[in-house]
Amino acid sequence: MSSHGSQPRPSARTMSAEETRALQVVRRRTTAICFFVVAIHGVIGLVVVADVIARQGRQSGAVVLVVMSAFLAIGISVAVRAILAARPVFSWPWVLVSLVPSAAGLVWVL
20 assigned to some structural domain: no
Residue from 57, 50, 35, 60 nearest 103 by CA: 50
Please tell me whether residue 43 adopts helix, strand or coil conformation: helix
Mean pLDDT along residues 48-71? 96
Give the DSSP H/E element, type plus range, for residue 32.
helix 17-55
The domain total for the chain is 1
pLDDT at 4: 61
pTM over 0.85: no
68 assigned to some structural domain: yes
CB atoms within 10 A of CB 35: 15
Q: Are 95 and 77 in contact (CB under 8 A)?
A: yes
- Domain boundaries, position 35: 29-109
104 assigned to some structural domain: yes
pLDDT at 12: 74
42 assigned to some structural domain: yes
98 assigned to some structural domain: yes
Task: State how far the Cα of 41 lies from the Cα of 87, in Å rounded to an integer.
Answer: 25
